[in-house]
Amino acid sequence: MGERNRFLVLGMILVLLAIYTAISQADITVIKAELNKSFNITLDSNPTTGYTWTVDFNHKMLNGGENSYGASRPQVMGSSGQQVFTFTPIREGQTEISAVYKRPWEDSVAEERTFRINCIGDD
């Protein structure tokens, strides 16, 4: 392989890594939340299919994680809706909430979401 081809291959690898990094970071939603003030994360859901969202978060930074579900068309059996998770920041700093949409009895994940929470003081 010639010197020129090596640089070409290296350049293509660097471009692909940059694209992958940009795509990975684009999947993170940033939320600015005030200390001791609740905020919600709303996710589209359809539990009639067996799928449900579960969240994982740092309990030293956030209280809550309880969720409620509301169907978008309750009169239509099997209609989709939204799960709403409520959190309250209890410490200043940055943390993440990971949300996974899957059937509890299966290993495969249908969707994953990451939320970066910037917890700021209650001025």
Q: How far apart are CA 31 and CA 93, in angstroms?
A: 12
**Structural domain includes residue 11:** no
For the segment 83-97, the average pLDDT, to the nearest whole number, is 96
Dihedral through CA 87, CA 25, CA 110, CA 103, nearest 10? -30
DSSP string, 68-117: EEEESSTTSTT--EEEEEEEEE-SSEEEEEEEEEE-TT-S--SEEEEEEE
Check which CATH number belongs to the domain holding 87 and give it: 2.60.40.2020
Per-residue pLDDT band for 18 (boundaries 50, 70, 90) equals low
**Structural domain includes residue 90:** yes
Q: How far apart are CA 119 and CA 90, in angstroms?
A: 8
Question: Which region among 41-50, 65-74, 99-108 has the lowest average model confidence (pLDDT)?
Answer: 65-74
**Structural domain includes residue 53:** yes
- From residue 9, alpha-carbon distances to 16, 17, 20, 45 in Å are 11, 12, 17, 43
**Domain total in the chain:** 1
**Structural domain includes residue 91:** yes
**Structural domain includes residue 4:** no
Structure tokens at 6: 């090596």
Q: Tell me the residue range of the domain where 108 lies.
A: 28-120
